Amino acid sequence: MEYRRLGTTGLKVSELCMGTMQFGWTADESTSLTILDAAEAAGLNFIDTADIYSRWAPGNPGGIAETIVGNWLRASAGRRDRTVIATKVRGPMGEAPNDQGLSRVYIQRAVEASLRRLGVETIDLYQVHWPDEEASVEETLGAFDRLVREGKVLYLGCSNYPAWRVIQSLWAADRDRLTPFACVQPHYNLLNRAEYERELETVCLRYGLGVIPYSPLAGGFLTGKYRQGEAPPPGTRADSSSRIQGWLGEPVAWAVLEKLRTLGAARSKSPLQMALGWLLSRPGITSPIIGPRSLDQLEENLGAVGLRLDEGERMALDEVSAWE
């Protein structure tokens, strides 16, 4: 397992990050704890969660994934000190007007709730989940900076921010002497390259921001579990995801998958592992976020640990997935 610096900070995180969106949703607590145990045994020290995971599941008020992670941390002495915990704020956790957003009042309330659920005194990485058009960058960064000064948060990051918002935030932090973002969490994979590569990649490389891509397997499409011309298997994400359904009808998506199969066969690697290997071989990428909902899925993801593609493999995948 390789450990990489988070941007320009001294914090070291594993080359794969354990995502927890499935915890309390498609993976019950017992399964989630087993997955976390196996991930730890494999050397993963980086866990990403969010307060709203998985509020969309029936009967789930939100905070379930954070609670599961907190239960896991408490189950073993010293585990907290060995683990880098990242969570996020922005989404609705109630029905009242101030139960969501990036205002000072909500951020202060949300971080206290996340600390309680996680059972920790400090969150290692606290991230904006997505923008809030009604809160100024100064208010949000000011609230975040206060949390750092109080010792409740160590590092800051943002997710789903376009390049201009990242620049705006970095400049505001520099101007007002506030703690800047250390990393970004973009939606980035072989089927969704332009969103990151068009502008955000340059910003991240120029300013030394860590990059922890989510959905590295394109919602499961790049695992190879779908078959061209066939209906998606029951219970897969394609049943409810319009984005995945769109890829099922895109010739380029199938071409990318076929190239992953061909290149992977020469290395005895699956399409999933090659897709992760492509990200791990990209400049500036810190730690792709995997989201297994079973032990078998985790094991296959772990097959990408240490995988670095050579120039020919990278060029072949870049060409077949070209967005311009």
In a domain, 100, yes or no: yes
In a domain, 141, yes or no: yes
Report the distance separating Cα 11 and Cα 74, nearest Å: 22
The strand pairing partners of 27, in sequence order, are: 23
In a domain, 271, yes or no: no
Report the distance separating Cα 161 and Cα 194, nearest Å: 14
The per-residue b/e assignment along 14-38, b for 16 or more CB within 10 angstroms, e otherwise, is bbbbbbbbbbbbbbeeebbbebbeb
The alpha-helical segments, DSSP class H, found in the chain are 29-41, 64-74, 79-82, 104-118, 137-149, 163-176, 194-197, 200-207, 242-248, 251-267, 271-280, 295-302, 311-320
In a domain, 286, yes or no: no
Q: Specify the CATH number for the domain of residue 70.
A: 3.20.20.100
**Quick one: which of 23, 13, 1, 14 has its CA closest to 291?**
23
Question: Residue 124: which domain range?
Answer: 3-185
Average pLDDT over residues 49-73: 94
pLDDT in the model for residue 60? 86
pLDDT in the model for residue 232? 75
Q: What is the pLDDT of residues 165-192, one digit of tens each?
A: 999 999 999 999 999 999 999 999 999 9
Name the CA dihedral angle for 266, 268, 270, 271, rounded to a multiple of 10 degrees.
Answer: -10
In a domain, 60, yes or no: yes
In a domain, 156, yes or no: yes
Alpha carbon separation from 247 to 126, 190, 191, 306 (Å, rounded): 32, 12, 8, 28
In a domain, 118, yes or no: yes
In a domain, 63, yes or no: yes
Task: Give the count of domains, the chain.
Answer: 1
Residues involved in catalysis: 53
**Three-class SS of residue 264?**
helix
pTM: 0.96
**Three-class SS of residue 124?**
strand
Q: What is the pLDDT of residues 260-297, one digit of tens each?
A: 999 999 999 999 999 999 999 999 999 999 999 999 99
